[in-house]
A and B are shown apart, each in its own frame.
Chain A
Amino acid sequence: AQSVTQLDSQVPVFEEAPVELRCNYSSSVSVYLFWYVQYPNQGLQLLLKYLSGSTLVKGINGFEAEFNKSQTSFHLRKPSVHISDTAEYFCAVSESSGDKLTFGTGTRLAVRP
């Protein structure tokens, strides 16, 4: 069975600073990887996804993530954050043979002015 670990429960950062949110996964088979964002009082919205091909994936709102198979990681990065990026970010994995998503525990990104 697959699992996802998000090492940081909370990441405080100043506006316009770079940020990295860490995600590691565990699976015995090939996987698809996702980052979702949840703004306050809203549902989850897909930020980006890795299915195959280039290991560097670009998503919405200037975010990108890099799939590293040897380190089983899929860290999310943004070179310059805005106040509006304050939200909860979830890493998720699904096995390529199925479509059930397993989520990490989430990382709360708090952007300060």
Chain B
Amino acid sequence: DSGVTQTPKHLITATGQRVTLRCSPRSGDLSVYWYQQSLDQGLQFLIQYYNGEERAKGNILERFSAQQFPDLHSELNLSSLELGDSALYFCASSVGVTGELFFGEGSRLTVL
């Protein structure tokens, strides 16, 4: 158990819909990261928050947005969903700047 909690574990929705994925980091970790894992793209970094502020942005689509709340949990919002958004979305957290991340078990999104 990494200490990072993600909900929901599985989500099935239709094209055009909007979903929210939630992540609770390890106790004490200030950084939260979102990654997307798909068969064709591999593990892609989406976005990082540090203590409530956006710190780094990767290959995140404009239809996607995220935020980190004062209690340090984070939410990833995916809107106008397309079939190609079907993937496993991972949240990870870290305490410092060495790049050692602790991953949740992921949220599997299926868009039909």
Binding site for B on A (CB under 8 A): 32, 34, 36, 42-46, 49, 51, 90, 92-94, 98-106
Q: How distant is the Cα of A85 from the Cα of B2 in the complex, in angstroms?
A: 19
Q: Are A43 and B97 neighbours in the complex by a CB distance under 8 Å?
A: no
Residue from A42, A45, A90, A100 within 8 A of B33 (CB atoms) = A100
Point out which of A43, A92, A101, A102 has the most chain B C-beta atoms below 10 A from its C-beta: A43
Q: How far is the CB of B26 from chain A (nearest CB, A)?
A: 13
Give complex CA distance A32, B94 in Å. Answer: 14
On chain A, the residues within 8 Å of B111 by CB distance are: none
The 8 closest A-B pairs by CB, nearest first: A94-B99, A43-B103, A103-B43, A44-B103, A43-B105, A99-B97, A105-B42, A32-B99
Determine if B42 and A106 form an interchain contact, defined as CB atoms under 8 angstroms apart: yes
CB distance from A103 to the nearest CB of B (A): 4
Residues of B within 8 A of A102 (CB): 45
Q: What's the Cα separation between A82 and B104 when bound, in Å?
A: 25
Determine which residue in B56, B97, B99 has the highest number of CB atoms from chain A within 10 A of its CB, and name it: B99
Judge whether B102 and A94 touch: CB under 8 Å: no
- Nearest chain A CB to B59's CB is how many angstroms away? 11
A43-B106 contact given A94-B99, A100-B99, CB 8 Å threshold: yes
- A90 cross-chain contacts in B, Cβ below 8 A: 43
Question: What residues of chain A lie closer than 8 Å to B102, measured between beta carbons?
Answer: 46
Q: A46 to chain B: which residues have CB within 8 Å?
A: 100-102
Chain B residues positioned under 8 Å from A104 (CB to CB):
42
- A99/B99 contact (C-beta < 8 A), A43-B2, A43-B105 known: yes
